[in-house]
Chain A
Amino acid sequence: AQSVTQPDIHITVSEGASLELRCNYSYGATPYLFWYVQSPGQGLQLLLKYFSGDTLVQGIKGFEAEFKRSQSSFNLRKPSVHWSDAAEYFCAVGAGGGADGLTFGKGTHLIIQP
């Protein structure tokens, strides 16, 4: 069965600083990987996804993520965070449309310090 680990429950970053959120996955085949963001009281919005090709993927709001098969990782990065980036971030792995749906990590809560 597939699984996702987000090692950091909370991360605090100063506004303007760089950000890296960690995600490790377990999946038997080539994974389909996603990062979603959830603002307080809101639904989930897709930031970016990887399913093949270039291992560095660009997303919305200035985010990027790098797929590293050897490390089973899909870490999310942003060079300079803004106060509006404060939210909950979820990494997910899945086959899409199939029995497994999406398997989510438990999330990382990002706090932005002024």
Chain B
Amino acid sequence: NAGVTQTPKFQVLKTGQSMTLQCAQDMNHEYMSWYRQDPGMGLRLIHYSVGAGITDQGEVPNGYNVSRSTTEDFPLRLLSAAPSQTSVYFCASSALRAEDTQYFGPGTRLTVL
């Protein structure tokens, strides 16, 4: 199993550009989520999904869109990048029980100039 994979590893954007961060998991997990990590802030939840076709907002959703057309994939879209979105982005997946472990991808480091 590859676990949770994310692409790209690094990305530099100019303000106003759009892009999609890819996330895929091969563990048949129903739950997937996106976090951003900023220095001194820990990780904050952006969006999450409890299954194909179902998404919802987390703590910091503004400026980001998500969709979940398959169980395996959960892309994160930035429609018009802003410098405030410079961060490290982590995708995670888990089964749906409360005690289930969330498995994290290796992260995408995004810089918006």
The chain A residues found within 8 Å of chain B, CB to CB, are 4, 9, 32, 34, 36, 42-46, 49, 51-52, 90, 92, 94-107
A42 CA to B6 CA in the complex, in Å? 12
- Number of chain B interface residues as a range: 20 to 34
A55 CB to closest chain B CB (Å) equals 15
Determine whether the beta carbon of A107 is less than 8 Å from that of B56: no
Determine whether the beta carbon of B101 is less than 8 Å from that of A43: no
The stretch from B11-19, B69-77, B79-87, B89-97 touching chain A is: B89-97
Return the chain B residue nearest A44 by Cβ.
Answer: B104
Determine whether the beta carbon of A49 is less than 8 Å from that of B99: yes
Given A97-B94, A99-B56, A101-B58, are A43 and B104 also a contact pair (CB < 8 Å)? yes
Return the chain A residue nearest B44 by Cβ.
Answer: A104
From A46, A51, A106, B40 is in contact (CB under 8 Å) with A106
The chain B residues found within 8 Å of chain A, CB to CB, are 4, 30-31, 33, 35, 40-45, 48, 50, 56, 58, 90, 92, 94-107
Given A43-B106, A49-B101, A106-B40, are A97 and B95 also a contact pair (CB < 8 Å)? yes
Determine whether the beta carbon of B100 is less than 8 Å from that of A96: yes
From B4, B94, B99, A51 is in contact (CB under 8 Å) with B99
In the complex, chain A residues whose CB is within 8 Å of the CB of B106:
42-43
Determine whether the beta carbon of A102 is less than 8 Å from that of B90: no
